[in-house]
Amino acid sequence: MSPLLEARGLTTVFETRAGLLPAVRDVSFTVAAGEIVGLVGESGSGKSVTGFSLLGLIDPPGRIAAGSVRLDGEELIGLEQGRLRALRGRSIAMVFQDPSTTLNPLLTIGAQMRLALEAHGGRDASAMRARAIETLSQVGIADPAARLGAYPHQFSGGMRQRVAIAIALLNRPKLIVCDEPTTALDVSIQAQILSEMRDLARNIGTAMIWISHDLAVVSSIASRILVMYAGRVLETGPTRDVLSAPRHPYTQGLLDSLPAHATPGTALRQIPGSTPSLVDIGPGCAFAPRCARASEACASDPAESVAGNRRWRCHHPIAAVA
């Protein structure tokens, strides 16, 4: 069976005054129907740009320079705008990081939900209203019928994000790209929404790409993860395998910096250095300058190694646990 989404060699660049900035470089992955895939990386690793690229929402001066994205077998890159618009929200939807900036502050949430439904052929007012109420209750909003007339500022941050998620769910998309939807929220609400979303995805069979800088968050929801660094996918595989036996030193570094992995009373371990500037990125492994295992070989681009359902890009991978 072919996957729901298949990205091949996706490359997105930004033209800046300082030069061409490759935010996403040769990224390939698949998402099966109903699957939750985690996309993890530090800020500036290109994970959000990857998400926006999938929906064709890259604004100038950025553009998708190369690659292919197939959704249900249909090529999205270079697709005519009208068709792409028809797919957005209906086949592939997206939820953003900060719910206080994504919702229109001047429209009631009922009106905003109606606009999203009308965008995909919604005509019958009472049917649209019923669907809006249904999705609002799916995301755990109490008394949804009454809340339709409320404005975004009348909701708390967590509730606002639930509304945004409901809007993404309205047209029953097959895939939702969630770009750090819990990062701006309180930790307790974060956990709550995470578990709700996991159940929701299972119940309605929607696939998700969950983007986060937080390995702990991603590992709690995703069955498979992709680790991104400087626009590249460095390692990918089933979440459990990657966490228990990372092959890439960068993944290991991310794991070591998690509080849960630290010995109580000792300082958290950090990856030395900081993310490189993408403008003057060289041909070699981008992580090499911060990597304890780096050697001269790392000046050249590591090829992708494959073992079973795991892939990584490293000249000196951590040995597999026997």
Partner 1 sequence: MPGYALQRLAQAIIVMMVISVMVFAGVHAVGNPIDVLISPDATQAIREQAIRAYGLDQPLWRQYLDFLGRLARGDFGRSFLYNMPVLDLIASRLPATLELTLAAVIGATALGVPLGIYAGYRPSSILSRAIMAASILGFSVPTFWIGLVLIFVFAVNLGWLPAGGRGATVSVLGVEWSFLTLDGLRHLLLPALNLSLFKFAMMVRLARAGTRELMLTDTIKFARAAGESEWTILSRHVLRLIAIPIVTVFGLEFGSTLAFAVVTETIFSWPGVGKLIIDSISSLDRPVMVAYLMLVALLFIVINLLVDLAYAALDPRLRAQHA
Q: What is the DSSP letter of 88?
A: B
Nearer to partner 1, 89 or 302 (CB): 89
**Pair 286, 220: CB distance under 8 Å:** no
- In the complex, the smallest distance separating the C-beta of residue 66 from partner 1, rounded to whole angstroms, is 23
Pair type for strands 310-313 and 232-238: antiparallel
136 forms part of the interface with partner 1 (CB under 8 A): no
Q: Other C-beta atoms within 10 Å of 305: how many?
A: 15
304-307/232-238 β-pairing: unpaired
Q: Locate the DSSP E strands across 32-148.
A: 36-40, 62-71, 74-75, 92-95
For partner 1, which is the closer residue by CB, 171 or 212?
171
- What is the closest distance, in whole angstroms, from the C-beta atom of residue 64 to partner 1 in the complex? 15
- Does position 16 interact with partner 1 (CB under 8 A)? The reply is no
Among positions 96-125, residues that touch partner 1 (CB under 8 A) are 96-98, 101-108, 115-116, 118-120
- Does the protein bind partner 1 through residue 215 (CB under 8 A)? no
Overall size of the chain counted in residues: 322
By CB under 8 A, name the one of 43, 59, 187, 203 that touches partner 1: 59
**Candidates 83-91, 200-208, 265-273, 300-308; binding stretch for partner 1 (CB under 8 A):** 83-91
Strands 92-95 and 19-31, bridge-based pairing: unpaired
- 114 vs 311 by CB, closer to partner 1: 114
Task: Give the residue from 40, 31, 22, 3 showing the smallest Cα distance to 233.
Answer: 40
- Alpha-carbon distance of 185 to 190, in angstroms, equals 6
Q: Least distance to partner 1 from the beta carbon of 85, Å?
A: 6
> Residue 266 class from Cβ within 10 Å (0-12 exposed, 13-18 middle, 19+ buried)?
exposed
Residues in binding contact with partner 1, number by CB under 8 A = 36
**Which residues are 227's β-sheet partners?**
40, 235
* Distance, CA of 237 to CA of 38 (rounded, Å): 10
Site string for partner 1, 145-164 (x = CB under 8 A): ------x-xx---------x
Closest approach, Cβ 131 to partner 1, in A, equals 14
> Does residue number 86 form part of the binding site for partner 1 (CB under 8 A)?
yes
Binders in 163-182 for partner 1, by CB under 8 A: 164, 167-168, 170-171
* Cβ-contact 175, 168 below 8 angstroms: no
State which residue, 131 or 232, has the beta carbon closest to partner 1.
131
The residue ranges that bind partner 1 (CB under 8 A) are: 52, 55, 57, 59, 85-90, 93-94, 96-98, 101-108, 115-116, 118-120, 151, 153-154, 164, 167-168, 170-171
